[in-house]
Amino acid sequence: MEKLNMLYEGKAKKVYETKDADKLIVYFKDDATAFNGLKKDVIFDKGILNNSISSIIFEELKRNNINTHFIEKLSEREQLVKKVNIVPLEVIVRNYAAGSIVKRLGLKEGQKFNEPILEISYKNDSLGDPLINDYHAFALGLVEKEELKYIYETALKINSILTKMFDEIGIILVDFKLEFGRCNGEILLADEISPDTCRLWDKKTLYKYDKDRFRQDLGNVVEGYREILKRLEELR
Ligand code: C5P
C-alpha cells in the first residue's frame, strides 16, 4: 500500500491517505516533545522502536478481542490502520502514582492505588489537554454516554491485558494514555501504545524505560525503548 497525500502531522507521527478511502498509513517520526511542546528533541530511531512496540501491543490486544484501528505493520516506520474520527479525549489509566497526579494530589511517586484510576482530558493542544470529568464531556458534546461507558470498560480491559503482559517481562505498567476513534458506528482503540504513552518501570529496580527519561533528562532514552522492544520480542 502506497502513501498518498499527508492528512495530518502531529508531534510524533504523520498520517497519510491511501488509495483505499477507509485506510490510512501512520508514519512514526523520531521527534520527541514534552510539557505540551515546550521541550523538543530528536531521539534517533525512536520512531522505529515505537512502531514495533505499538504493533506488538496492538496485536496482543486484538488477540484478546479488543477492537482497534490497527491492521498491520508495513515497514520499519509505517503501519496501516483503519480511518477513524478521533474522539477528542485522552483517556488515562493509572495503577501507581507518577507524573501529573503526584503533583495534583500531593502523592508519593510509586504509591500503588487500591484500584485503577481512570481520567479523561480534553484533547486540545492550545489548552494543554485539561483534565475534565464525564459531565464536561457530555455537556460539551465530546462523547455520547454509551460511548464513554464502552471506552471506560475497554480501558480497564486493556489495563488488565497489558498489566499481565508487562508483568511477564518484568515490567510494572505504572500508567498509560489511550485514544479512541469512531468508525462505522463502532468505537475502536486508535493512536499508539508505546514508551511515549506509558510509564514502564523495571519490577526489581524500578528503573524507568519510558518517556520520563526524556522529560526528566535521565539519559539513555532510546536504550530504554530498545529494552522494552527486546523483552516484548522475547515473549513472542
Ligand atoms: O503526565 P501524566 O502523569 O498525566 O501522564 C499520564 C500517562 O499518560 C503517562 O504514561 C504519559 O506518558 C501519558 N500521556 C500521554 N500523552 C499526553 C499526556 C499523558 O501519552 N498528552
From the CA of 176, how far away is ligand 1's center (Å)?
6
What pLDDT, on a 0 to 100 scale, did the predictor assign at position 1? Answer: 85
What's the whole-number mean pLDDT along residues 34-52? 96
SS3 54: helix
Residues with CB under 6 A from ligand 1: 90, 92, 99-101, 129, 175-177, 197-199, 211
In this structure, the answer to whether residues 47 and 119 fall within a common structural domain is: no
The range of the structural domain enclosing residue 74 comes to 6-82
In this structure, the answer to whether residues 91 and 206 fall within a common structural domain is: yes
Q: From CA 184, how far away is CA 159, in angstroms rounded?
A: 25
Q: Which atom of ligand 1 is nearest to the CA of 102?
A: 3
Is residue 12 one of the residues assigned to a domain?
A: yes
Question: In Å, what is the CA distance from 129 to each residue of 34, 125, 144?
Answer: 13, 6, 19
Is residue 182 one of the residues assigned to a domain?
A: yes
ipTM: 0.98
CATH of the domain at 33: 3.30.200.20
In this structure, the answer to whether residues 103 and 77 fall within a common structural domain is: no
Residue-wise pLDDT for 179-197, tens only, equals 999 999 999 999 999 999 9
Q: What is the mean pLDDT of the chain?
A: 98
Is residue 234 one of the residues assigned to a domain?
A: no
Residue-wise pLDDT for 54-96, tens only, equals 999 999 999 999 999 999 999 999 999 999 999 999 999 999 9
Q: What percent of the chain has pLDDT over 70?
A: 100
What pLDDT, on a 0 to 100 scale, did the predictor assign at position 112? Answer: 98
Of 173, 177, 201, 211, the one to substitute when testing ligand 1's pocket (max ligand atoms within 8 A of C-beta) is: 177
- Contact present, 235 and 223 (Cβ < 8 Å): no
- Write the CB contacts of 38 (distance below 8 Å, at least 6 apart in sequence): none
Of 53, 89, 92, 93, the one to substitute when testing ligand 1's pocket (max ligand atoms within 8 A of C-beta) is: 92
Give me the amino acid identity at 22. D
In this structure, the answer to whether residues 74 and 94 fall within a common structural domain is: no
Residue-wise pLDDT for 132-187, tens only, equals 999 999 999 999 999 999 999 999 999 999 999 999 999 999 999 999 999 999 99
- The last residue of one of the domains, among 29, 61, 82, is 82
